[in-house]
Chains A and B, each alone.
Chain A
Amino acid sequence: MLSFIIRRTLIIIPMALIVVTLTWGLVRLAPGNFYTGEKKLPAAIEANIKKKYGLDQPWYTQYGMMMSNIIRGDFGDSVKYQGQSVNEIITRHLPYSATIGILGYLLALLIGLSAGTFAALKQNSSFDYGSMSLAMLGLSVPNFVLGPLLVLVFSFWLYWLPPARWGGIAGLILPVCTLAAIYAAYIARLTRAGMLEVLRSDYIRTARAKGLDEKTVLFRHALRGGLVPVLSFTGPALAALLAGTVVVEKVFAIPGLGNIFIQSVFNRDEPLILGIVAFLSILIMVFNLIVDVCYGFLDPRIRYE
């Protein structure tokens, strides 16, 4: 188990560097530059800028410098936000994304697991049909529709909650709900399918034949097997949520990582783009590793060498 974790952790580093390299290539291929604007710069100024940032060097020298800095953990300064290092910017904006991301996923787990389990227990009941239709709706309505809709109802009609901006618990409710909707729907459907399969299995019949009551059958015998599909979904979902959810942050004007990421692309802010991409790719790989380790705890048949 330990050697499995160490091996997987070591692989993360070269993987992240490959992702960074590809991103660097894409940024370079895209037209435009961080210093180009509406007006053409005088040739002398452009040459100065190029010299300052090393852009007058051949591409392989630039790539080498970039990589050697990154390997040392230094992503440099943002070229747009003067005097701010990439590391600073990420640490400053991550908490916003992480807060709504974690809260959103917890809410989604709470709703999805209970609705899915209950729907499976009462298969083909009106609750089953009702919740699964709602889940279908949750999956098909995109964030950018749901967000403004919630704002319209709860802020502009009912005056209950602020429509946007960070600050206080009240300001969290709408973005967290918007974010949770699609994940709750997905988890509910996964849980229902997983539980249905488990509840029909032979070992559940054995548990009932032992004289155990339905509560024990459900919690001691059925739930673990039913949770496996939800766990595999959790890794990538959580990484995506922590990394910031561009649309929701935009709709509710939250200064999270997603917002900054999009800005950095618009600005062609190469160090910032590479920094965020490296951070996100590591995050996703770490979460996948955590999920794989959790599998081993959930299902004793899975053993890592």
Chain B
Amino acid sequence: MTDPILKVDGLKTYFRTEDGVVKAVDDVSFELKKGETLGIVGESGSGKSVTNLSVMRLIQTPPGEIAGGSVTFDGIDVLALPIDEVRKIRGKRIAMIFQDPMTSLNPFLKISKQLMEVTQLHLGHTKTQAREHALKMLQLVGIPDAEHRLDEYPHEFSGGMRQRVMIAMALSCEPELLIADEPTTALDVTIQAQILELIKDLKSRMGTSVILITHDLGVVAGMTDKIIVMYAGKVFEQAPTKELFSRPANPYTKGLLRSVPDPAHVQGKELYQIPGLPPDVANLPAGCPFAERCDRAEDICRREFPPFVEVAAGHHSLCHFAERVYEQSKSEVNS
């Protein structure tokens, strides 16, 4: 159980645009063990999605390009694989759920066809087998009257139901790794909880490893074993979930945690927000990309790129003052 199912090392994904090279993902590394759930958190444009599209080799080239690093899935060097071999992994061993279930299903094809083509392709199912399997999957993800709904089109489903269909599709070959890219962002809050419960439940039943991408810290808190915080294409902090929430070692993470609305919030008191906007990834400053928005930045932050410091076992932070921030968080917890 200790072999990493996925190992990403020094991954760099760049986009060549008219404004210069956008380093959407710059030197990102992480590991995911079998059965583990990893949360990737960050603002829009921080490189969360691009990291995972790179793992699946789904970056449009051009303008995108994987410029360096390695992705190892179950011992296979994914980036060196010919594209035909990658296609045998996609959908079968690594599956993906996307953000917007309204646009991620093909509006022109029946649900049955979209589900069936996965197992027909990867498991060699005949039409009858594939249809039976599709029905089973729809029942598994809790779609009522599945037999009848199989022959409907995506527009006849509600948003939450569509996301269930997406999950059924993604899990139909029992993949070893499920990448869920903001699976609940486009859904109502009540539906969000249902979908997350469903992913959690299916994960424990099938033993699937999960990468959960989100910008919602509340979502990852109850679901993940460890968390990566991304900012401007870089990993800013990496820690086990509990550790990260209780003792953040990075000012950016602290800022994110402070911006989560508290149910016990006093009315009239302004909600905290990190000042400023994420930087333009095409023209990053020489120093720390967060320096301009950071409340404790000093001269060195604007001058030099910060080191990736290990503040505790398995807890890393990209900050010149990582240790001091960490100590401060610890004392805050104690007090």
A→B interface (CB under 8 Å)? 201-203, 205-213, 216, 220-221, 224-225, 298-301
CB of B155 within 8 Å of the partner chain: yes
Contacts of A203 in B (CB 8 A): 103-107
B5, CB-defined interface residue at 8 Å: no
User: In this complex, what residue of B is CB-closest to A201?
Assistant: B103
Of A211, A299, A300, which contacts B88 at CB under 8 A? A211
* Contact of A211 with B109 in the complex, beta carbons under 8 Å: no
Question: Do A298 and B108 have beta carbons less than 8 Å apart?
Answer: yes
Say yes or no: A225-B117 contact (C-beta < 8 A), given A203-B103, A301-B153: no
Q: Are B58 and A213 in contact (CB under 8 A)?
A: no
Which residues of chain B are within 8 angstroms of A220 by Cβ–Cβ distance? 109, 117
Question: What are the residues of chain B within 8 A of A221 when measuring CB–CB?
Answer: 106, 108-109
- Hey, which chain A residues are within 8 Å of B92, CB to CB? 211
- A202 pairs with B104, CB closer than 8 A: yes
The SS class assigned to the A binding surface is helix
* B169 close to A (CB within 8 Å): yes
What are 29 A-to-B residue pairs whose CB atoms are below 8 Å?
A202-B100, A202-B103, A203-B103, A205-B98, A205-B104, A206-B105, A206-B166, A206-B169, A207-B106, A208-B58, A209-B58, A209-B95, A209-B96, A209-B98, A210-B118, A210-B121, A211-B87, A211-B89, A211-B90, A211-B121, A211-B122, A212-B121, A216-B117, A220-B109, A298-B108, A299-B107, A300-B153, A301-B107, A301-B155
Q: List A contacts of B89 (CB < 8 A).
A: 211
CB contact under 8 A between A210 and B155, given known A203-B105, A205-B58, A220-B117: no
A204 shortest CB reach to chain B, Å? 8
CB closest chain-B residue, reference A222: B106
Nearest neighbor of A123 in chain B, beta-carbon distance: B62
Which 5 A/B pairs are nearest by Cβ-Cβ distance?
A211-B91, A211-B90, A210-B91, A202-B103, A203-B106
Instruction: Give B79-93 as 1s and 0s: 1 = Cβ < 8 Å from A's Cβ atoms.
Output: 000001001111110
Kindly count the residue-residue contacts between A and B in the assembled complex, taking CB atoms under 8 Å apart. Answer: 71
B56 in the interface, Cβ–Cβ < 8 Å? yes
Alpha-carbon gap, A208 to B89, bound state (A): 11
Q: Which residues of A contact B110 (CB under 8 A)?
A: 300
Per the bound structure, the CA–CA distance linking A205 and B60 in Å amounts to 10
- Size category of the binding interface on chain B: 20 to 34
CA distance A220 to B110 in the complex (A): 12
Q: Does A210 contact B169, Cβ atoms closer than 8 Å? A: yes
B: which residues have CB within 8 A of A? 56, 58, 84, 87-92, 95-96, 98, 100, 103-110, 117-118, 121-122, 153, 155, 166, 169
CB of A202 within 8 A of CB of B58, answer: no
Cα A237 to Cα B1 with chains together (Å): 65
Complex Cα gap A107–B159 (Å):
43
Bound-complex Cα distance A300 to B100 (A)? 20
A220 to B106, CA, bound (A): 10
**A226 to B96 CA separation, bound complex (whole angstroms):** 25
CB closest residue in chain B, given A300: B153
Inter-chain contacts of A299 with B (CB < 8 A):
107-108
Q: Which residue of chain B is the closest to A213 with respect to CB atoms?
A: B87
Complex Cα–Cα for A221 and B109 (A) = 8
Of B88, B104, B121, chain A has the most CB atoms within 10 Å of the CB of B104
B108 touches A202 (CB 8 A): no
Give CA–CA (A159, B107) in the complex, Å.
52
Of all chain A residues, the one with the shortest Cβ separation from B103 is A202
Please tell me if the beta carbons of A206 and B98 are within 8 angstroms of each other in the complex: yes
Residue contact B108 to A208, C-beta cutoff 8 Å: no
